[in-house]
Amino acid sequence: MRQSYRYHYYTLILFFSLGTLSLCAQKMNTDSLLVSIITDMKTSNNYQKNIEKCLLGKKIAPEYLDFQLLLGRNYEFIKQTDSARYYYKMVLDKNPKYEEAFLYLINLNIHEKKYNEAIDLSTKAIEYHPNQIAFYHKQADLYDLLKDEEKHKSSLLETQKRFPEDTKTKEALIQLDRKHLHTRVGINYNFTIIDRKETGPWHLAHLEAVKEQKWGSIIGRISYANRYNATNFISKGFQYEIESYVLMGKKNYSYWDISYSNDFVFPKFRVGGSFFLNFNKGWESDFGFRYIETFNIDVLTLVTGVSKYAGTYWFSLKGYLNNNKKKYNPVFLLNCRYYFDSKYDYINSSIGFGTSPDERTTIAQLQNRFNLNSYRMGLGYYHIFDKKIITGFQINYNYQEYFPNLYQSEYEFALSLHYKL
């Protein structure tokens, strides 16, 4: 009796052991098969062979949704999108929280331009995965593809509210804001103190109007300068200027500027132009010229530069080569901006060497500073209030050579106030 009991006992143990080993072996087989499929997808394009493996895995372990997901991927690779869609939906029917299935099906709908279906899927994906930012990005991009600007902006603002530090969303909001056409008027004022006796202060004010159009923008500007120099003589006068940016296709544009003055405090005549070429990943290059005619000399300047948007940062490096009677003078300027919520909200910093023909404060001194050294740096903050009032404050420091080996310090304070109509 006791021997019979032991016999049944050991038989049960053997049975359960074999069953466990069988299950373990099956799991090992399905896992190794899954790894094999993924490896083949990365290293070869034999998608038909992968499909056969996926079907085998699905038969061995029908509860393994990974095989069905990979079936969808491989069918998509061989352009059998109906089959791919079928398996993606099957995975989501069995497990509505499967992130990759949502993502693949959304991308498939985008590829086939089924944007409304993709939006519905992204909404459902956000419900199941409220902390997965990729689905928020997809939804915002889809509204952009549909050219629904209102919903695009609303989606971006919702994303920013949930993920306030996301740089991609900040950049998208800034780019969206740049598409809006505005008309604004404003005034800029620059006050410069110089640490050399009987020199300065300098006052410079601009009254300007900006009109943005679909073809670009045009700016009208009247400037007034009042400068006290070393001989106790006050130099003052007006300058009249027109500036314009003209779009040249979807990505490129040009810049043009012309100004005139009959007062010694400004150049008599100035004209300039640049062409800007935009490339992928936020890169931009420009090349152009500036021509300045003063009452004493004429200067032709060649200009080139490169800039880059990196998230909410913008970097710009410009080089100028001033030429007067075969005398050349190089100028370099590096700018960096960090944008907040719009194109009018940013911090700006700059460093430079030489006297640039684009520096409005010192342009009248170009004839005196052509062959003299200049080292400058600046820091500014710009902000828009109530979506209408644009303000700015900038501090610049310039260590200027005014006579060979003799230097003066120049402290410039700039204020700007614009109103969007």
pLDDT tens for 13-72 read 433 333 433 334 344 467 777 777 777 777 777 778 877 777 877 788 877 788 888 888
Q: Which of 128-132, 233-237, 303-307, 408-412 has the lowest mean pLDDT?
A: 233-237
Pick the CATH number of 32-178 from 1.25.40.10, 2.30.180.10, 3.40.50.150, 3.20.20.100: 1.25.40.10
Helix axes 133-145, 149-162, angle to 10 degrees: 170
Six-digit token string for 215: 């073809």
**CB atoms closer than 10 angstroms to residue 224:** 17
R_g of the chain computed on alpha carbons: 33
pLDDT tens for 323-334 read 877 778 899 999
Q: What pLDDT sits at residue 24?
A: 40
Confidence category of residue 407, pLDDT binned at 50, 70, 90: very high
Answer for the pair 220, 209: CB distance below 8 angstroms, yes or no. yes
Q: Is the pLDDT of residue 369 over 50?
A: yes
Six-digit token string for 94: 């069995």
Confidence category of residue 157, pLDDT binned at 50, 70, 90: confident
Q: What pLDDT sits at residue 18?
A: 35
Distance between CA atoms of residues 308 and 285, nearest Å: 9
- Domain span(s) for CATH 2.40.160.40 in the chain: 184-420
Compute the mean pLDDT over every residue in the chain, rounded to the nearest whole number.
85
pLDDT tens for 74-123 read 888 888 889 888 988 888 888 888 888 889 999 999 999 999 999 999 99
Q: Is the pLDDT of residue 289 over 80?
A: yes
Distance between CA atoms of residues 206 and 36, nearest Å: 70
The CATH superfamily holding the domain 184-420 is monomeric porin ompg (2.40.160.40)
- Domain span(s) for CATH 1.25.40.10 in the chain: 32-178
Six-digit token string for 231: 């001989």
Query: Tokens 């500014």, residue?
Result: 380
Q: What pLDDT sits at residue 367?
A: 72
